[in-house]
Every structure is written in C-alpha cells, then in structure tokens.
Amino acid sequence: MPDTAELEARLAALQAEVGPLATLGEKDLEAAEVRLLGRKQGALTEILKQLPGLPPEGKRAIGAEANRVKQALEAAVAARREALVAEARAAEARAQDRTMPGRDRWTGAVHPTTAVMEEIVGIFNGLGFARATGPEVETEWFNFRALNFPADHPAMDMHDTLYLDLPERRRGDDRRANRSSGVGDHERRGVPDRRVRPEGRYLMRTHTSPVQVRVLLHNPPPVRVVIPGWVYRKDTFDASHAPVFAQIEGLAVDEGISFVDLKATLAHFARAFFGSKTAVRFRPSFFPFTEPSAEMDVSCGVCGGSGCPACKGSGWMEILGAGMVHPHVLANCGVDPERYTGFAFGMGPQRIAMNRHGIHDIRLFYEGDMRFLGQFAGGVTP
Ligand code: PHE
C-alpha cells in the first residue's frame, strides 16, 4: 500500500524543481522535461501510478496536488522554451543589424621601401635593364678585390665590414663554386682562372656592386642590369644609419659606351622618378671600381631648388654614386677592356624615399609601426 506522506514529500521535491527550469539551456530543458513530465517514466507519472492504491481521502489530496505541480512544471517548461526562442531571435537580429556601423577591413600594403625600389627598378626595366640579384653572403674577392679595392682599403676594416666566422674559401671550394656560377664559359673565352686565387674570408656584402662581378662572369656583353638588394655595414642604428639597408645597383657594358650614356641614362631616371622639371648635376667623386667617378645630385623636390630644410639650404640632394667601370674590373670578370666599356651606378632607395616623403629617421622603415606604414597603404578598403 502506497504511503500518502511519502508521495506528498516527492511532490514537494518536484515543486522545488519549477524555479531552476527558468535558467536552463535548450538541451538541459529537454532532458528535464523528460525526467519530470515524461509519460512513461517521468517522476510525475510514477506518482500518479500510485494513486489507485491510496485510500479515497489520500487519492483526492495527492491527485489534486499532483495536478497542480504538473501544471506548474508544464508552465515553467513552456515559458522557458518561449524565452529561449525569443533570445535566439534577438541574437539573430543583432547579427543582422544593418544600422550598426561597419567594421574596417584591413588589407595588406607594400612597404614604402619596397614600393620605391620597385618603382626605380621599373624605370630601368623600361630602358632595357634586366633585374639581377646576388647573394648577401659574399667573399672578399667578390665584394672588394674583383672590384679593384686595394688590399689595405679601409672599407675592408673590421670596423665597417661584418665578417663571418667561417673558414676561408680555398682552391678546392672554388672549383665547386665555379661549376655552379658558370665561370666555365669565361675560361673557354680565355678568362683568367679564378680557381688559382683563394676568395678570402666570407662576409656580409657591404654593397650590391659584387653582383656586377657575378653578372659579368655569367654573361658576355652586351649587359644591362639593375640590381636591387640589401647590404650590411657595421654601423650604429641611428636616425641616418642602419646596419642593414637597401641599395639599387646598375650596370651597362657594351662596345662604345661613354660617360654621355651614363649622364643621359641617369638624368632620364631622375626626371622619371622625381618629375620632368628635375635638374641634375654631376660632381667628381671616387670609387675603386669606377674611373672616372661621380656623384649625382637632383634639384630638391621639396623647394624646387631655392633652398629649404630638406636640402639643408643647398637646393640639391645627393642621390647616387656612379662612374665608368674600371678596366681592372672588366679584366677581373673576363671582359676585354680594350673592346668594351661600361658605366655603373649605385643608390640608396631608402634615402631617396626619405627625401621624397620628408621622413627624418631611417629607423621608421624598420619598426613596423602601423601609424607610419598606414600612410603609405593608400587608405583602408571599405
Ligand atoms: N657601391 C657604391 C657604394 O656602396 C656605390 C656605387 C655603385 C658607386 C656603382 C659607383 C658605381 O657606395
């Protein structure tokens, strides 16, 4: 015989479950509904199954109470279900709210150094100069000696050049290197055999000029190349110096090339890059690998030549070094200096970019600060 008091206690426990239903998520709510109100084995059904065995008085009391608890549970489940549907709808509406302000979409952009380098290379491509590149790890032979630096040149000093802590390149190493660098072509053309000379210490190239040598060793004239790249010097990192900086080198070697070709080519470049009204001037200079050598100035793009802080009042900005390729360099590369002449030039695209944009600190190019870089990104795409 069922116990009326026990059934009353079970009903009270079920009544206590009404409140917490209002906090359940969809899955928990479904499980609770089955557990409490399930037709076959729900807690309430189990209680109702006992009713027939109760005395008439208990039957009435428990029956009425069970009904009340059942309605309370059903109402709570229904209310919670409705609330969950409303919440889901609201979330969806929020996700689709077309009155919300749009989020900026960020796109990648070309770094100002790269942009200026590509622009410069493009101008020379238009003049028939092909792009060439070379390794950043070089040997003393390519970086200095083949370029006619005397053995005691101060640039070779440990203070300026970063030497690598590797064994020197020896004769046997040269043989292997020669096979891959196409030097064999020149041996066939009666070029001095570089294998009998050790290449010296390994170093980080201090300029892009060793690529002149590599190009001439690989390719018989006529040669016209433009060489963008990164170079290394043991400089302190300050507003105007960086230990790693960009250079663009140029080289033209053919029969009958003269200083007139050098001037015309570089003047054309200056006007293409800085604007058609740009004036250029050449000043005598010195490099071991060019003779004669010159530096080229362009009229200041900021003041047009009248003098301003950007050009330190002079009206001119120095942008490159250049000259006629030294006959020793041609000979070192297996090119007959009696037959061929050439010109070469080298410039620092970061300094050119600084002049163009009025940037006063080269370190900005290295810091990755979005406030700086964003100004060259051409705005944000909506
Ligand atoms: N290599 C020289 C430098 O780094 C620049 C240069 C290149 C000068 C070619 C003349 C010819 O300063």
What pLDDT was estimated at residue 107?
76
Kindly give the interhelix angle for 259-274 and 112-126, rounded to the nearest 10 degrees.
130
What is the β-pairing status of strands 223-232 and 130-131?
A: parallel
Contacts of 276 (CB under 8 A, 6+ apart): none
- Ligand 1 mutation pick, 153, 209, 212, 263, max ligand atoms within 8 A of CB: 209
Is 144 inside any structural domain?
Answer: yes
Structure tokens given for 159? 């203070």
Is residue 176 domain-shared with residue 311, that is, in the same domain?
yes
Nearest CA-CA partner of 146 in 107, 181, 188: 181
Residue 187 is part of which domain span?
Answer: 112-377
Query: What's the gap in Å between 69 CA and the centre of ligand 1?
Result: 94
C-alpha dist (Å) from residue 119 to 101, 134, 304, 348, 353: 37, 20, 22, 13, 11
Mean pLDDT of the chain: 88
How many degrees, rounded to 5, is the angle at CA 25 between CA 20 and CA 28? 75
Mean pLDDT of 183-194: 46
Same domain, 211 and 276: yes
Residues 285 and 373 in one domain: yes
Among 64, 95, 126, identify where a domain stops: 95
Q: Does residue 55 share a domain with residue 145?
A: no
The percent of residues in the chain predicted with pLDDT above 90, rounded, is 53
Query: What are 114's two structure tokens?
Result: 């790269």
Q: CA–CA separation, 197 vs 142, rounded Å?
A: 12
Identify whether residues 168 and 267 lie together within a single domain: yes
Higher pLDDT, 221 or 183: 221
Residue 79 · residue 340 · CB < 8 Å: no
Residues of the chain above pLDDT 70, percent: 91
Could you tell me the pTM of the whole model?
Answer: 0.69
Within a domain: 269: yes
What's the Cα-to-Cα distance from 272 to each of 96, 277, 306, 332, 358, rounded to whole Å? 50, 10, 21, 34, 19
Q: DSSP H helical segments within 127-183, as ranges?
A: 140-143, 171-181
Task: Find residue 342's DSSP bridge partners.
Answer: 253
Question: Residue 102: what pLDDT?
Answer: 83
User: Residue 67's CB: how many other CB atoms inside 10 A?
Assistant: 12
Joined together, the tokens standing for residue 47 give 């209680």
Query: Distances from the Cα of 131 to the Cαs of 127, 193, 266, 373, in angstroms?
Result: 12, 27, 17, 26
| Cα of 198 from ligand 1 centre, angstroms | 24
Residue 105 lies in a domain: no
Number of domains in the chain: 2
Q: Judge if 77 and 29 occupy the same domain.
A: yes
pLDDT digits (tens, 9 = 90+) for 6-33: 888 888 988 898 988 899 989 989 988 8
Residue 104 domain-assigned (yes or no): no
Number of H helices, E strands in the chain: 14, 9
Q: Are strands 202-204 and 137-139 parallel, antiparallel or unpaired?
A: antiparallel
Ligand 1 centroid to Cα of residue 285, in Å, is 11
Out of 120, 205, 207, mutate this one to test ligand 1's pocket (max ligand atoms within 8 Å of CB): namely 207
Which among 95, 129, 144 is the end of a domain?
A: 95
Contact partners, residue 376, CB within 8 Å, separation at least 6: 109, 110, 111, 112, 115
Is residue 229 domain-shared with residue 283, that is, in the same domain? yes
CA-closest residue to ligand 1 atom 7: 346
Same domain, 33 and 134: no
Spatial separation of the C-alpha atoms in residues 71 and 60, rounded to whole Å: 17
**Do 86 and 126 belong together in one domain?**
no
Atom 5 of ligand 1, nearest CA residue:
346
Give the type of residue at 208: T
In a domain, 84, yes or no: yes
**Same domain, yes or no, for 85 and 119?**
no
Quote the CA–CA distance of 104 and 370 in Å, as a whole number.
Answer: 15
Residue 143 binned pLDDT confidence (cut-offs 50, 70, 90): very high
The 10s digit of each residue's pLDDT in 86-96 is 999 988 888 88
Q: Which of 16, 56, 8, 54 is nearest to 36 (CA)?
A: 16
Given a cut of 70, is residue 187 above it in pLDDT? no
* Chain centroid to CA 283: 37
For residues 168 and 230, state if they share a domain. yes
| Mean pLDDT value of segment 105-119 | 90
Ligand 1: centre distance to CA 209 (Å): 6
133 Cα to the center of ligand 1, angstroms: 15
- State the pLDDT at residue 174: 46
Q: Whose CA is nearest to atom 2 of ligand 1?
A: 346
Query: Between residues 47 and 282, which one has the greater pLDDT?
Result: 282
Work out which ligand 1 atom sits closest to the CA atom of 321: 8
- Tell me which residue has its CA closest to atom 6 in ligand 1: 346
Ligand 1 pocket, residue 323 CB under 6 Å: yes
Q: Which pLDDT band holds residue 192 (cuts at 50, 70, 90)? A: low
Q: Write down the pLDDT at residue 170.
A: 66
Q: What pLDDT, in 10s, does the model give residues 242-275?
A: 999 999 999 999 999 999 999 999 999 999 999 9
pLDDT at residue 360 tops 60: yes
The band of 57, judged by pLDDT with boundaries at 50, 70 and 90, is: confident
Residue 382 lies in a domain: no
For range 45-64, the mean pLDDT: 87
pLDDT, residue 197, reads 60
107 domain-assigned: no
- Determine if ligand 1 sits within 6 Å of the CB of residue 211: no
Name the residue among 134, 135, 144 with its Cα closest to residue 201. 144
Please identify, by atom number, the ligand 1 atom nearest to the C-alpha of residue 207: 4
Alpha carbon of 116 to those of 159, 299, 362: distances in Å?
30, 18, 14
CB-ligand 1 contact for 342 (6 Å cutoff): no
Note whether residue 175 is domain-resident.
yes
Q: Among the three residues 44, 65, 95, which one is the final residue of a domain in this structure?
A: 95
CA of 348 to the centre of ligand 1 (A): 10
202 and 349, same domain (yes or no): yes
